[in-house]
């Protein structure tokens, strides 16, 4: 989980700070969800917080929905223009690798990986605190 969130964060910083792509409003919301996942996972692992799976599942679950919505705005066109997008239009595709890989899709993939790993953690490690602990 931590590695995925680190790679996603560095990727978003690369696109905005090196490539100079200006993030749209939905991209900012995705960053707000992704960036804290680094601290949540690293600190949670360090202090052995068994509830880390709950935190990461919530953040990544919302991230999956938001990035999926953003991708549909870009590619499907069925949702029309987003009401949230101000400034840079959320349909702007700075990258379009192989005709379908855009920044929101990369974000969707990262959030999905984190979500799946979080759910696996909750199932395998028990991620729940027993009564009285």
The string of pLDDT tens digits covering residues 6-42 is: 999 999 999 999 999 999 999 999 999 999 999 999 9
pLDDT at position 131, please?
40
Count of structural domains within the chain: 1
The residue segments making up the domain with residue 7 are: 2-125
CATH assignment of the domain containing 73: 1.20.1550
Residues above pLDDT 90, as percent of the chain: 68
0.75 surpassed by pTM: yes
> Is residue 133 domain-resident?
no
C-alpha span between 83 and 90 (Å, rounded) = 10
User: Is 108:68 a contact under the CB 8 Å cutoff?
Assistant: yes
User: Is 24:85 a contact under the CB 8 Å cutoff?
Assistant: yes
> Is residue 130 domain-resident?
no
The string of pLDDT tens digits covering residues 95-114 is: 999 999 999 999 999 999 99
């Amino acid at each position: 989980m931590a590695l995925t969130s680190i790679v996603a964060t560095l990727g978003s910083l690369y696109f905005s700070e090196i490539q100079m792509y200006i993030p749209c409003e939905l991209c900012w919301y995705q960053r707000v969800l992704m960036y804290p996942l680094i601290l949540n996972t690293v600190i949670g692992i360090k202090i052995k917080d068994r509830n880390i799976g709950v935190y990461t599942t919530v953040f990544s679950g919302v991230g999956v929905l938001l990035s999926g919505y953003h991708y549909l705005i870009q590619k499907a066109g069925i949702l029309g223009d987003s009401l949230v997008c101000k400034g840079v239009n959320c349909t702007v595709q700075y990258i379009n690798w192989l005709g379908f890989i855009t920044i929101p899709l990369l974000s969707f993939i990262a959030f999905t990986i984190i979500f799946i790993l979080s759910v696996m953690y909750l199932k395998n490690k028990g991620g729940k605190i027993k009564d009285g602990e």
